[in-house]
Amino acid sequence: MSKAYLNISRVDMDFTRNGVTNPVLRDINLDVMRGEFISLIGHSGCGKSTVLNIVAGLLKASAGGVIVDGKEVNAPGPDRALVFQNHSLLPWLTVYQNVEIAVEKTFRRTKSAAERREWILHNLEMVNMGHALERLPSEISGGMKQRVGIARALAMEPKVLLLDEPFGALDALTRAHLQDEVMRIQAELHNTVMMITHDVDEAVLLSDRIVMMTNGPSATIGQIMDVELPRPRDRIALADDARYNHYRHEVLSFLYEKQRKVEDIGSRRARARSGDAEKAAVRA
């Protein structure tokens, strides 16, 4: 049996629409250790969110399954908190209340009202949002909303934190700031994290391992790279670090050389199949 904290085993995923089956994922296998920070990277549409949604229990795999801390995933649960790119705060609730709603659900039976209040404040302080407790989402910036979303997820003390491009919608400076904050929190709490990103620098900076996915259809894991950079990591110092640049190069080469080729061959085949063989030969 696998000793992994999170185990994805032989996962296939097909979506069927109007009688046409789209084979999105094939044979996804991944073991994630407790406290590990994993990034999932791959071209748009390859199936990264589908993998995350299967782990979250929002989608059921067509084949294979997911085990978290010895239990099979069959439905969403507070042991797996999901943070999306577009902060999903309830607009009519304050910052405090948005976290409170998750804390009430998770700890209603195990913490007293005073403990719950302290816990909400602690998590909002952790993401530096303690000063804006009474504000509504419409009264704070995108970066601040994302912080509250992260505080809400952390406040559930999930076994696994699932981040779907959590910084994707932010400007570069806010993004860098939040990445540093997530690294600091991760160092303190040792969460097990699975994060989707399109940003190669973000993947290298934050991850213990980077999981690179091949292009769809029938996407699978093409390569897994260990990022053996010491922590804490400093983005400025790393900019001139040869190992950092090597890791960056590896991911870029996977995405834009290895996977680019597959795409070209695929489209050439498609053109040839559609009778446009001559055009395909010219472009080859």
Ligand X SMILES: Nc1ncnc2c1ncn2[C@@H]1O[C@H](COP(=O)(O)OP(=O)(O)OP(=O)(O)O)[C@@H](O)[C@H]1O
Residues at the site binding ligand X, with contacts judged by CB under 6 A: 15, 17, 22, 24, 42, 44-50, 216
Closest to ligand X by CB, 18 vs 138, is 18
CB of 6 to ligand X, least distance (A): 18
Scan for tokens 């000063």, then name that residue. Answer: 131
Give the DSSP H or E segment for 152: helix 142-155
First CA to last CA across the chain, in angstroms?
A: 47
Q: Which is nearer to ligand X, 47 or 158 (CB)?
A: 47
Nearer to ligand X, 85 or 128 (CB): 85
Residues in a beta bridge with 16:
21
Q: Which residue has the tokens 């190992």?
A: 243
Residue (137 or 216) nearer to ligand X, CB: 216
Nearest-approach distance from CB 85 to ligand X, in angstroms: 9
Question: Which residue, 81, 121, 85, 79, is CA-closest to 100?
Answer: 121
CA distances from 85 to 7, 166, 169, 240 (A): 24, 4, 6, 30
Nearer to ligand X, 39 or 50 (CB): 50
Q: At what angle do helices 172-189 and 142-155 cross, to 10 degrees?
A: 20
**Cβ at position 41, least distance to ligand X in Å:** 9
Task: Tell me if residue 123 falls in helix, strand or coil.
Answer: helix
**55: nearest Cα among 164, 150, 153, 149:** 164
Q: At its nearest, how many Å lie between ligand X and the CB of residue 220?
A: 13
Minimum distance of ligand X from residue 49's CB (angstroms): 3
> Which C-beta is closer to ligand X: that of 15 or that of 268?
15
- Closest distance to ligand X from the beta carbon of 196 (Å): 6
In the complex, the smallest distance separating the C-beta of residue 17 from ligand X, rounded to whole angstroms, is 6
- Name the residue among 81, 282, 37 with its Cα closest to residue 179: 37
Please identify, using beta-carbon distances, which residue of 87 and 116 lies nearer to ligand X. Answer: 87
Count Cβ atoms within 10 A of the Cβ of residue 230 and give its class: 0-12 exposed, 13-18 middle, 19 or more buried: exposed
Strand (E) or helix (H) holding 167: none
User: Measured from the CB of residue 216, what is the shortest distance to ligand X in angstroms?
Assistant: 6
Please tell me whether residue 282 adopts helix, strand or coil conformation: helix
In the complex with ligand X, which residue's Cβ is closer, 49 or 192?
Answer: 49
Q: Are 52 and 82 in contact (CB under 8 A)?
A: yes
